[in-house]
Copies of this chain bind each other. A is one copy, B any other.
Amino acid sequence: MPTSVPLPSVRRLPVYLDLLRQRATAGEETIACTAIAGALGQDPTQVRKDLAITGVGGRPKIGYDLAELIAGIESFLGWNDCSQAFLAGAGNLGRALVGYAALRDAGLEIACAFDTDPIKQAETIGQIQVLPLRRLRTLARRMHIHVGIIAVPAAAAQNVAELMIDGGITAIWNFAPQRLEVPPEVVVEDADMLSGFAVLSHRLQHRLHPVAGR
């Protein structure tokens, strides 16, 4: 069953979640599908289809129960549990990720950062320590870390991925512009920063406005 879930719908879930949390914080208890669609400039049919993958449905005339829908999305994505992650690369991108508050809302806490640069190792990023890269494998095993974030230059990425996998990491979020070769049991998601720019360029070329199928 999970294989039939369309990944573009999965990609849109964080955007819904963000809106739903805002509405819940504002004291609202239910939300209509058309209200979600209106706020995000999306097609209501698409919204209903996207949200259906979480197993939570709306009721006629009332809409979705906000608390139920938020819990449904969080549970579908596994964002209700906090995962600790190791970050490799304490450069500008790594620092930006540590400072990115929305990661914590997604249940991801960066526990430590690693870098080969001794100057960076002397620093902290916010509350996060920067440790020598050679310590990553042993610490990942000891702390039972399963998520790794790669924010190193392309040439170093494969080596870092192998250190992570040796340390027991099974899910890698890869920001390096380098395709990784990993064993089949390891899950890799490439951040592909350019895919968003491709959509922007295409819409600019063709002057398309609504973003029905992000």
Contact = CB atoms under 8 A, between A and B. Distances in A.
Interface of A: 2-3, 5-8, 10-15, 18, 39-40, 76-79, 91-93, 95-96, 99-103, 106-108, 146-147, 170-171, 173, 177, 179, 184, 187, 189-209, 211, 213-214
Contacts of A184: 209
Contacts of A5: 202, 206
10 tightest Cβ-Cβ pairs between the two chains A and B: A2-B206, A189-B200, A93-B96, A92-B96, A14-B194, A11-B195, A92-B95, A78-B205, A7-B213, A77-B201
A207 B191 contact: no
Contacts of A15: 190, 192, 195
Nearest to A79: B201
A113 to B, nearest CB: 12
Contacts of A107: 201
A7 to B, nearest CB: 4
Contacts of A102: 177, 193-194
Given A7-B214, A106-B197, 8 more contacts: A2-B202, A12-B195, A76-B202, A77-B198, A77-B201, A102-B177, A102-B194, A106-B194
A8 B177 CA distance: 19
A73 B100 CA distance: 32
A48 to B, nearest CB: 18
Nearest to A203: B187
A39 B179 CA distance: 9
A102 B176 CA distance: 10
A208 B4 CA distance: 11
Contacts of A177: 18, 101-102
B173 A189 contact: no
